[in-house]
Amino acid sequence: MHQVSQGLPSFMVNPDMKRILLAAALAGCVALSGCIVAPVHGRPYAGPVVWAPVAPPPLRVETPPPPPHRDYLWIPGYWHWETNQHRWVDGHWEAPREHQHWEPHRWDRDEGGRWRLREGYWRRD
């Protein structure tokens, strides 16, 4: 046995085993190259559906505090339905996202007179 190979497992010094391991590693790389995560277009997150039997109150007028950074975007507050009543969720600042714009929360009325909250989200331009 060579001095270099002392202490190494036998499969690491066997030329046939090296070829098999190399082929397996390359096959794994080829297989995983198809596992690319593509960016989500449209709505990336759809939270639980929120229904309310009554319309939300008018939006509150908010005076945003100074932004933490000059490029930040103000995400306005909205009414959320929780424990049988509308509760106000304050607005907040968020860092802008490249090639996306903010679609604000909104309430839509269905034909049955119920109100559904469409949660705000970042939409790809």
Q: Are residues 108 and 79 in the same domain?
A: yes
- 97 close to 124: Cβ distance less than 8 angstroms: no
Q: Are residues 20 and 64 in the same domain?
A: no
pTM above 0.85, yes or no: no
Q: Are residues 32 and 59 in the same domain?
A: no
Nearest CA-CA partner of 52 in 105, 104, 110, 91: 110
- Residue 44 in any domain: the answer is no
pLDDT at 38 over 60: no
Per-residue pLDDT tens over the stretch 70-86:
999 999 999 999 999 99
Q: Are residues 13 and 71 in the same domain?
A: no
Domain that holds residue 70: 50-124
In the chain, how many H helices and how many E strands?
2, 9
- Residue 41 in any domain: the answer is no
Token pair for 116: 């559904």
Q: Are residues 32 and 54 in the same domain?
A: no
Q: What is the overall mean pLDDT for the chain?
A: 82
